[in-house]
Structure 1
């Protein structure tokens, strides 16, 4: 009869034999780590069978099995082991086939998930690859759009720079050659030169601001300020331009609506919106600037009388250098004002949109109050 002590010795020697076999199996797996999964699964199956056989051999050596029982046990274990190894090999081949199907799908452009049934892990990997490809495709589209926008910006800025520079050169040559000697005309030329220099300075400032926005280098210094003060500054800063076109600016903001913003940057964004409205509103028109708090957001609306924007152009209004059909209006700038306004608003975790409403367009800036 098998005693407890004998059983413990059997467990000890069987575990020792199985550990030795497992060690060799792990070493072999390490050497074959770059080989196919099917090969590694075959090694695992073989190691399992050998560990079982080693246990039977240990029991035989301890004289606990008769020759007949040992032969039967070894035959049964060997047969089961061969079946297990065959199943492991077939499972490995299935994993290899699924992996090859996934690799073929990855190599295709665009990526399309394979139409074969994949193991759960590979199916999850396939879904993640599909999502990653969609993100890469979207990023590539954005990069292409940005590159096209940059090329358009360079072309338009070159045109807008060439015009004032040509005028400056002509006036400078006229003054230098003495072609213009009349004091009144000379004074007029000096005034026009200063005006053109101011235009160039404004254009360079816009380009610098836009480059900071695109580079993510726009640093905000937030402080609490009244929304009515921001709108009042935007109106007063653009009043001379509106007066020149006999345009009425009407601001309506209830006092005491505080927002946490960078006053200089957001003020610039609002001025850009108002200046854009003035440039596209006919003479003797009216522009309304309304500020309010709604649904936990600060809203600033600039409504002009420009006659509206074609529906197909609305999604492009805030793109760099986009000026629509009236792209060559004198004094229209480099078409950067709305792009800068969007960048500043988004830096404040807000958003800006445009729609056709009434006699013109309605630009709406939304800013979170808890930002």
Structure 2
């Protein structure tokens, strides 16, 4: 084998070894930091070629000056390799972000789909309950077996109202779970929205023997859909009243901080196990798994979705003394807040 052939073989071997080693290192790095691996790929290529040329030059006994010239000429491509690496790294980083966004969208879609399936599963049960009552009362009226027709008629109207509220909740939740729920945002007084919600819940509170008190309202202005937010606060208040025993007290207050306004509703429900605090926002979830006059269990779910549609959120926490819970809605502050 002539010296030229030996030099070629040796150069190819060294180039392959360096390139393979670099590729192995980059492949491991690509698992956690693909953009860095993309940046390093052109540099590894230049380094492999430089090593091959250096070995070939030495084996062919090329003069030291000529050897250095060859290496320097080859390394002159290093800046271009760095530029290519930067372009690749930027592209890979953009692809990573797009992929992460797509994964988040898929996860969100999967979560919504699972929620819808669960809703459909127990929806038929919750709707059949008032339907069964209406049917029984109607048949009794037809047979003349009802001692007080007026009371039966009032009960039928009550059950129809229940069904109407259920269907309304389902429609609202479906809208909020849509790909891009629309909100008609405008500067609004949070105090006014809270006062409207308290007024709406007042008859229920009186019937339940629960006192609802608005305290520490700080006059914040929020940029929201007034109707949607009033409904969200009403849902939280209604849930608090329903889970507070007779003679108990529900407090609603507001606060600001971090560019957000918050509505806090505190009840005397006796507290919720820490593992279940997040579950209170799941559609249809109840601690006792009972579905009765309280409806379909969508109130807090809708409240959180309304807050999130405005860029906020809803959280639940136990009171420090363990006597109840506080549900807080966060909303974007307006210019006057």
Identify whether the pair has TM-score above 0.5, normalized to the shorter chain.
Answer: yes
Give the corresponding residue for 2:327: 363
CA-to-aligned-CA distance 1:183-220 (integer Å, 9 cap, x gap):
xx222222111111111111111111111111134211
Shift of 1:256: 3.9
Give the corresponding residue for 2:129: 163
Is the aligned partner of 1:84 residue 2:50?
no
SS in 2 for 1:169: helix
For structure 2, the residue ranges without an aligned partner over 5 or more in a row are 45-88
For structure 1, the residue ranges without an aligned partner over 5 or more in a row are 1-74
The verdict on how the C-alpha distance between 1:296 and 1:141 changes in structure 2, with shifts beyond 3 A counting, is closer
Preserved contact between residue 112 and residue 177 of structure 2 (Cα < 8 Å): no
Give the corresponding residue for 1:334: 296
SS in 2 for 1:326: coil
For residue 345 of structure 1, the aligned residue among 299, 303, 307 is 307
SS in 1 for 2:222: strand
Shift of 1:173: 1.7
Count of matched residue positions in the alignment of Structure 1 and Structure 2:
284
Is the aligned partner of 1:257 residue 2:220?
yes
Give the corresponding residue for 2:211: 248
Preserved contact between residue 149 and residue 321 of structure 1 (Cα < 8 Å): no
Shift of 1:86: 3.7
CA RMSD, 1 decimal: 3.9
Preserved contact between residue 283 and residue 301 of structure 2 (Cα < 8 Å): yes
Preserved contact between residue 231 and residue 253 of structure 1 (Cα < 8 Å): no
SS in 2 for 1:333: coil
Is the aligned partner of 1:218 residue 2:181?
yes
SS in 1 for 2:308: helix
Shift of 1:98: 7.2
SS in 1 for 2:264: strand
Whole-Å separation in 1 of the counterparts to 2:228 and 2:11: 71
The verdict on how the C-alpha distance between 1:143 and 1:228 changes in structure 2, with shifts beyond 3 A counting, is closer
Shift of 1:118: 11
Give the corresponding residue for 1:49: none
SS in 2 for 1:205: helix
Shift of 1:321: 1.5
Preserved contact between residue 187 and residue 334 of structure 2 (Cα < 8 Å): no
User: More displaced, 329-338 or 191-200?
Assistant: 329-338
CA-to-aligned-CA distance 1:272-298 (integer Å, 9 cap, x gap):
000000110111211001123234321
Spell out the pairing of 1:34-73 with structure 2 (5 A cutoff).
none
Whole-Å separation in 2 of the counterparts to 1:328 and 1:356: 22
Shift of 1:352: 1.3
Shift of 1:158: 1.8
Shift of 1:129: 10
Whole-Å separation in 2 of the counterparts to 1:94 and 1:333: 65
What's the TM-score, normalizing by structure 1?
0.65
The verdict on how the C-alpha distance between 1:133 and 1:262 changes in structure 2, with shifts beyond 3 A counting, is closer
Give the corresponding residue for 2:191: 228
Whole-Å separation in 2 of the counterparts to 1:159 and 1:177: 27
Higher relative contact order (CA 8 A, sep 6+): 2
What's the TM-score, normalizing by structure 2?
0.71
SS in 2 for 1:349: coil
The verdict on how the C-alpha distance between 1:130 and 1:277 changes in structure 2, with shifts beyond 3 A counting, is same
Q: Which has the larger radius of gyration?
A: 1
Give the corresponding residue for 2:237: 274
Shift of 1:257: 2.5
Whole-Å separation in 1 of the counterparts to 2:95 and 2:224: 40
Whole-Å separation in 2 of the counterparts to 1:136 and 1:80: 51
Whole-Å separation in 1 of the counterparts to 2:136 and 2:261: 49
Give the corresponding residue for 2:61: none
SS in 1 for 2:261: strand
Preserved contact between residue 227 and residue 253 of structure 1 (Cα < 8 Å): no
Is the aligned partner of 1:292 residue 2:255?
yes
